[in-house]
Structure 1
Amino acid sequence: MVTRKRSSLKQDEMVARLVSLPAVLTVVLLVAIPFAIIVIQSFREVGFGTLLGTGFVGLTNYVQTIANPFFRRSIAITLVFSVCTVAFTYVIGFYSAVFLNDQQRFKKLIFALCLLPWAMPLVPTGLIWRWMLHRNYGVLNWLVFQVGLSSGMLDWFGDRTLAMISIIASTVWRQYPIGLLMIYAAIQTIPQDYFDVGRVAGVNKRQEIRHIIFPGVLSVSSMLVIVQLLDSFRAVTTIFVLTGGGPLRATETLALYTFIEAFEFYNFDRAAAAGVLTLFIIMSIVVGARRLLRRTI
């Protein structure tokens, strides 16, 4: 009897390994091997037609990357972009989830419309925002002029501050549905008794959000902040379509810096070093954010 149970357990274990094998192979082929190649490239001199480089150069690529003023500036730009994106995404997603939770009619329709920006491809999203913010033909400039907020047409892609605002706004517009989805799901897990007791006690909506909803979604909020932080660090497509890193590389984030270094300047070795450095920066920030959120929660 014991032998049969052991044989059955071994068979189940073998089946489990076979079932998980495609996922493991996918991770190895698409993540582990490319990452290993990038790390090797960062220590070698890499040119066209040489995947692993022609010679070992030690830390030269890292020294040159860190010494590059555009790389150091891209760190500051990325931090500003990430903090603003995560903050606005969370706030808009949170209050959108609260609003949606209170709706009784057309909830499914509103929910589908709110998720639409997230479902759109990145390149069309960037092109839509580029036309909306066009200096001469953009609808936003027309609205600003009609309302009287500006006497002339705003150059959204020629001014550094406006260019940064444009990439933050477009990114928040596309990513806030993730926050809406996660926080709305978390609100559904809060016991209805809490809301009933609050209504009996006469709490208003502001007090309900502060004392019932917000504490109830804190654990999900910590995960959401980390996910949004990772997304903001790897954002490159929409920024490239909108501003291309301009004006004068004022919106060039770390991901875009690495992309330009590799595919415009063809410095594959220094781009690999920048990618590895970016990974360490992201890991440091995520670890710090997790510790801070654990203390808060």
Structure 2
Amino acid sequence: MTTTHVPVEDRTQEQRHPGRLRRDRSQAPLALLLMLPAVLVVLGVVLYPLGRTLVLSTLDVNSSVQQTAPFVGLANYAALLSDPAFWSTLWRTTLFTVFSTGLQLVLGLAVAQFLNQPLRGRWLFRSAVVLVWALPTIVNANMWRWILNSQYGYLNGLLSHLGLIDQYHDWIGGPLQALFVVALADTWKSTALVAILLLAGLQAVPHDIYEAAALDGAGALRRFWHMTLPLLMPMVGVVLVLRTIEAFKVFDIIYVMTRGGPASGTTTIAFFTYLQAFSNQRFGLGSAVAYVTVLCILVLCFVYSRLLRRGNGAAS
């Protein structure tokens, strides 16, 4: 009688490690139990509000105490897309997003390059950047609101003392001017996060390639443009997506500094949603604006990913 021997590589996972599989199966209920709180949080904080908002966007809800609301389908979306105020708000939000994100990327890259240099006391500069990022947005907004105050703001006092202005200016008095000033205030805080992320990407770049390029006669600008920037593009993509999402749905700094004014000059799409839902009590329309905002953010992220993927393919 002959006995056939099954090769070790042909055996199943259960035949090779029977004890490990039994142990994994016995720990499966415990693993599911440990995951249950996180699943409940995701369901309660993310999925349920998304579903509830979607339902509200198809109803005619005009009061917070309204018991029943008629189903109107896509009427809220149609009313929104035919409203000139919505398109003005969308254009204003896009302008704010492009200006603030682009400026944050440029300044953050410069700060990251500075922090990546072998300087004495480098830890002190990095700590200062972290502290700026850790500053709450509400505190940052109030700080800049006092600095830019048209009557007793520090900026007017400093410029007047230096002889650069003859009289105090209202820095957020004009609609377009206020939008850019608020974007600058947001950039002051958010640039720190961009710098921290890009610094992490810079530290992952090997220094040997810089030394080899320097020996070949490549200058600092050429090394940055042809070596640093291509290697940093994956992290740049992460920064663009994160900051675009945050800038497009900016609300808190707008609420504290300008309340959407003057003349709706700083009313972004998130603040427009707040006004429709809570000030005007048009919860159905506000929910529709919220879903359009999500759609716009998804489109922007898709465009970013396509452009970065195309750029990486061309670089390779």
What TM-score do you get using the length of structure 1 for normalisation?
A: 0.93
- Whole-angstrom CA distance in 2 between matches of 1:258 and 1:101: 41
> How far is 1:172 from its partner?
0.7
Select 1:268's aligned residue among 259, 265, 283. 283
2:64 matches 1:48: yes
User: Which residue of 2 is the match for residue 176 of structure 1?
Assistant: 191
User: Which residue of 2 is the match for residue 253 of structure 1?
Assistant: 268
> How far is 1:261 from its partner?
1.4
Identity of aligned residues (%): 27
2:201 matches 1:186: yes
> How far is 1:92 from its partner?
0.6
User: Which residue of 1 is the match for residue 295 of structure 2?
Assistant: 280
> How far is 1:103 from its partner?
3.8
> How far is 1:195 from its partner?
2.2
SS of the equivalent of 1:123 reads: helix
> How far is 1:78 from its partner?
0.5
> How far is 1:12 from its partner?
4.2
What TM-score do you get using the length of structure 2 for normalisation?
A: 0.88
Select 2:113's aligned residue among 98, 107, 120. 98
The AA in structure 1 aligned to 2:99 is C
RMSD: 1.8
Q: Is the 8 A contact 1:89 1:175 kept in 2?
A: yes
2:81 matches 1:63: no
- Whole-angstrom CA distance in 1 between matches of 2:215 and 2:30: 54
Deviations 1:12-36 (CA, angstroms, capped at 9, x unpaired) = 4444333332222211110000111
User: Which residue of 1 is the match for residue 139 of structure 2?
Assistant: 124
- Whole-angstrom CA distance in 2 between matches of 1:4 and 1:248: 71
> How far is 1:284 from its partner?
1.3
- Whole-angstrom CA distance in 1 between matches of 2:171 and 2:118: 36
> How far is 1:149 from its partner?
4.7
Deviations 1:170-214 (CA, angstroms, capped at 9, x unpaired) = 111111111111110111111121122233334333223223321
Q: Is the 8 A contact 1:43 1:59 kept in 2?
A: yes
2:87 matches 1:72: yes
- Whole-angstrom CA distance in 2 between matches of 1:285 and 1:150: 41
The AA in structure 2 aligned to 1:96 is V
Which protein shows a greater Rg?
Answer: 2
Equivalences, count = 296
Q: Is the 8 A contact 1:144 1:150 kept in 2?
A: yes
- Whole-angstrom CA distance in 2 between matches of 1:7 and 1:55: 55
Q: Is the 8 A contact 2:104 2:187 kept in 1?
A: yes
Select 1:228's aligned residue among 231, 238, 243. 243
Q: Is the 8 A contact 2:174 2:265 kept in 1?
A: no
User: Which residue of 1 is the match for residue 174 of structure 2?
Assistant: 159
- Whole-angstrom CA distance in 2 between matches of 1:107 and 1:285: 36
CA gap of 1:20–1:48, structure 2 versus 1, over 3 A, is same
For structure 2, which runs of at least 5 residues remain unmatched after alignment?
1-13
Q: Is the 8 A contact 1:43 1:60 kept in 2?
A: yes
- Whole-angstrom CA distance in 2 between matches of 1:226 and 1:180: 15
SS of the equivalent of 2:238 reads: helix
SS of the equivalent of 1:44 reads: coil
- Whole-angstrom CA distance in 2 between matches of 1:20 and 1:171: 37
SS of the equivalent of 2:116 reads: helix
User: Which residue of 1 is the match for residue 7 of structure 2?
Assistant: none
- Whole-angstrom CA distance in 1 between matches of 2:34 and 2:225: 45
- Whole-angstrom CA distance in 2 between matches of 1:150 and 1:66: 44
User: Which residue of 1 is the match for residue 153 of structure 2?
Assistant: 138
The 10-residue stretch of structure 1 (165-174 or 19-28) with the greater mean CA deviation from structure 2: 19-28
- Whole-angstrom CA distance in 2 between matches of 1:233 and 1:108: 33
- Whole-angstrom CA distance in 2 between matches of 1:10 and 1:149: 75
Q: Is the 8 A contact 1:45 1:55 kept in 2?
A: yes
User: Which residue of 2 is the match for residue 88 of structure 1?
Assistant: 103
- Whole-angstrom CA distance in 2 between matches of 1:269 and 1:256: 16
The AA in structure 2 aligned to 1:20 is M
- Whole-angstrom CA distance in 2 between matches of 1:11 and 1:148: 77
- Whole-angstrom CA distance in 1 between matches of 2:66 and 2:45: 20
